[in-house]
Structure 1
Amino acid sequence: MRRARAWLFGVLTAPRRALRHIPVIRRVGFHAQRLSEGLDLHFFRTLVISLTGIVVVATVAVTALEPEKRSLSGLVDSAYWAVTTVIGSGDASYVTSGGGYIIGWLLAFFGVAIVAALTAAIVGFVIEFLLKEGQGMGASGYRDHIVVCGWNGTARELIEELKSDEFDAKVVVLHDTERSPAGPGCYFVRGDATSADDLERAGVPEAAAAIICPSDSSNEADMRSILTVLAIETMAPQVRTVVEVNNPKHVEHVRRAKADEILVTSRLASRLLARTALYPGIAALVTDIVSGGEGSELYRVRLPDDYVDLTLDDLATRLRGEHNATLLAVARGDHTLVNPPTDFRLARGDTAVVVAETLGDLHPMRPDEALDLDG
């Protein structure tokens, strides 16, 4: 019996839970909660009590003034007439006495005032919602999305990359500026990436990953990135944090802040340039692999269960033959094995880093899944 009740409760509450996960519904709820904090509840309580009292008095008075209404059923009809008159749809022919006409006029007048007040409140809420959303003062309402904290040239390029990737993730940009720097297709939250409230509005606690980009090339920007990582790790340690660092000397500090991935853009560029100088074509090859659009791209993918216990050669052969993908490395936990030993065997939970034009039947790793495997 208890299980049946639990099942029935789950069935009845499932639609409501599903509605709460819709981003638009969550955004409207955020604005409604924020506006409700500034409402004068005493005023609305007094308005409701007054309206109820007027309807009751009008019902009794009309029942007493109209001879044909002096019965229990007439009292019910009078109550219905009073309510409909207040909301503007009452039957004017219901009353025939002079007193009944006066009560009907008073109810209609009071009803116009009530409807006007409610209409003004609704219009005010809609205008407030649209203005705040346009200014980046709303809440994203997303789940399993990617939050970009800060803005620079790297952020602009990575958002274009995310838009073209097969992962198809929702992107939220958190930056302290008047207008969204990312353009259409990204939800904009105006705020400070080190603020818990602004991170909450960006949906960081329910995000899949957060990318922190320094606003400029200064050391102060790196320090702010470290504070952002600390704020995110304190609020949502399960969220995967990827940080761009200006100065290589700050990598250790970012690592101590418990960032999951660290990228020193200047170091990566300089080493790639050096390799290209020694081996022509390397830069073009790497650019093609890591960029979206046409051509082959780099993916980290989950492997089917029947791949377990395969050797490296067998794994490479099956990936190439079944999925037209070229194996680059095998990832096991937080270790990436680029050149495993000859006796290597694939274990359950291992993932593969491959180059392919399309994933086909393979499934890309989500940021939250990668974090579970690494941690």
Structure 2
Amino acid sequence: MLFLQNRLYITFLRLPLLIRVLFIALFVFLSFGIIIHLLEPHTFPTIFDGIWWAIITASTVGYGDYVPQTFLGRIAAVTLILAGAGFVSTYFITLASAAVTRQDRFTEGKIAFRGMEHIVIIGWNERSRELIDRLTALTPTPNIILIDETLKTNPVDSKYVHFIQGKSHMDETILKSNIAEAETVLITADRGNNEHQADMHSILTLLTIKGLCPNVKCIIEILTSEQVTNAMRAGADEVIQSNKLTSIFMENSLYSSHDGLLSDIVYQLKENRLEILSDDIFSGKSYAEVHALLYQQKYQLIGIKREEETILNPSPAFLINNQDQLLVIK
């Protein structure tokens, strides 16, 4: 019997403080409700009437619908006010403190995400900031998980952005993002380090994610061309060579006869999505025929992806195979 009492006591002590205070307050209300019913059965005809009186008295509301008439009843009321009011106040103070603490933990990135089909973005920089701004402007807006170890609080004031503070190559941090239910992961390069170290850190993060959830789609930004192969070996579904893209952009700008033409095209693409279509109904048709069909559906066909080869603007007579993927702008 003593052993059972000790186990129950230890179990009670392990409960959260808010639950313990609530149980104590309920026990006080129940006890004084029974006591006042026994002391003054005519004034408090049922135990429920006694419990009602105990709750109203302890919370200092004092409706006055039930009032003790005897000396012992009033002694019980004074005792309840001195003891019960303290527990009630403690409960609400603890409740408010818990709410504030949780909000602080949420802002500081210490709360795990429980949703599904979300986008995980690793690394806070100008590129991720711009991307998050664009994603939060979409309808419907996807849930976005931002993971970064340098930030102290969530930098984005949006209900759709959940911040997780921590090292992206640690299992504990990645698991907080509910990676198993994520739709896509984007790993951005840390340009604060030298390019080689930044790529090593990105690939290490990729290995961590693929080790925990091999099926999740991962897009990784790589700065040095020699690390592209390692990123693919680590399981990247797509590698973005940002430095190479920037070099191509600069080269085209140098030799363009129209100032700002390439920039205008890129900014136009911000409002139009590049998509991939695949449908057997286009098989056997020429590029010109498919282009006309898609144009009626407000798609602009710009090329074909055939296995590992990407063909931009082929000849009008180019025949589409059933395995080809169509590159379009919507």
Please give the TM-score of this superposition, normalised by the length of structure 1: 0.68
SS at structure 2 position matched to 1:344: coil
Contact 1:289–1:298 under 8 Å retained in 2: no
- Cα deviation, residue 264, structure 1: 1.6
Give the total of aligned pairs: 310
| Counterpart-to-counterpart distance in 2, 1:142 and 1:42 | 25
Contact 1:161–1:292 under 8 Å retained in 2: no
Q: How far does the alpha carbon of each residue in 1:235-294 deviate from its partner, in whole angstroms, 9 at most, with x for none?
A: 222322111112111111111110111122222233344455556469834762476556
| Counterpart-to-counterpart distance in 2, 1:272 and 1:74 | 84
In structure 1, what residue type is equivalent to 2:144?
A: V
Aligned to 2:54: 82
Q: How much is the aligned-residue C-alpha RMSD, in angstroms?
A: 3.7
Q: Which runs of 5+ in 1 are unaligned?
A: 1-38, 360-375
Contact 1:173–1:182 under 8 Å retained in 2: no
- Cα deviation, residue 223, structure 1: 0.8
Contact 2:249–2:262 under 8 Å retained in 1: no
- Cα deviation, residue 109, structure 1: 2.5
- Cα deviation, residue 190, structure 1: 1.9
Aligned to 1:178: 151
Q: 2:73 aligns with which of 96, 100, 109?
A: 100
- Residues 230-309 of structure 1 aligned to structure 2 (within 5 Å): 230-275=207-252, 277=254, 280=257, 284-285=261-262, 288-289=265-266, 292-293=269-270, 297-302=272-277, 307-309=281-283
Contact 2:301–2:326 under 8 Å retained in 1: yes
Q: 1:119 to 1:241 in 2, by over 3 A?
A: same
Bigger shift: 188-197 or 155-164?
155-164
Aligned to 2:294: 319
- Cα deviation, residue 106, structure 1: 1.6
In structure 1, what residue type is equivalent to 2:230?
A: H
Q: Confirm or deny that 1:352 pairs with 2:329.
A: no
SS at structure 1 position matched to 2:150: coil
SS at structure 1 position matched to 2:169: coil
In structure 2, what residue type is equivalent to 1:62?
A: I
Aligned to 1:206: 181
In structure 2, what residue type is equivalent to 1:202?
A: S
Aligned to 2:32: 58
In structure 2, what residue type is equivalent to 1:81?
A: W
In structure 1, what residue type is equivalent to 2:213?
A: A
SS at structure 2 position matched to 1:94: coil
Q: 1:221 to 1:42 in 2, by over 3 A?
A: closer
Contact 2:282–2:290 under 8 Å retained in 1: no
Aligned to 1:342: 318
Question: Share of identical aligned residues, percent?
Answer: 21
Aligned to 1:188: 163
SS at structure 2 position matched to 1:215: coil
In structure 1, what residue type is equivalent to 2:57?
A: T
Q: 1:276 to 1:68 in 2, by over 3 A?
A: closer
| Counterpart-to-counterpart distance in 2, 1:48 and 1:152 | 45
Bigger shift: 158-167 or 117-126?
158-167
Aligned to 1:366: none
SS at structure 2 position matched to 1:172: strand
Q: If each structure's helix is expressed as a fraction of its own residues, which one has the higher value? A: 1
Q: 1:335 to 1:290 in 2, by over 3 A?
A: farther
Q: How far does the alpha carbon of each residue in 1:177-208 deviate from its partner, in whole angstroms, 9 at most, with x for none?
A: 23468544444322111122222333433322
Q: Confirm or deny that 1:123 pairs with 2:96.
A: yes
In structure 1, what residue type is equivalent to 2:274?
A: Y
Q: 1:148 to 1:167 in 2, by over 3 A?
A: same
| Counterpart-to-counterpart distance in 1, 2:238 and 2:258 | 27
Q: Which runs of 5+ in 2 are unaligned?
A: 1-12
Bigger shift: 95-104 or 169-178?
169-178
In structure 1, what residue type is equivalent to 2:147?
A: L
Q: 1:42 to 1:182 in 2, by over 3 A?
A: closer
Q: How far does the alpha carbon of each residue in 1:312-344 deviate from its partner, in whole angstroms, 9 at most, with x for none?
A: 332210111331x32013457877554498342
SS at structure 2 position matched to 1:226: helix
| Counterpart-to-counterpart distance in 2, 1:252 and 1:168 | 34
Bigger shift: 141-150 or 189-198?
141-150
Aligned to 1:33: none
Q: 1:78 to 1:150 in 2, by over 3 A?
A: closer
Q: How far does the alpha carbon of each residue in 1:104-143 deviate from its partner, in whole angstroms, 9 at most, with x for none?
A: 2222332211221111111112221232233333345543
In structure 2, what residue type is equivalent to 1:146?
A: I
| Counterpart-to-counterpart distance in 2, 1:208 and 1:133 | 22
Q: Confirm or deny that 1:145 pairs with 2:118.
A: yes
SS at structure 2 position matched to 1:198: helix
SS at structure 1 position matched to 2:219: strand
Contact 1:165–1:292 under 8 Å retained in 2: no
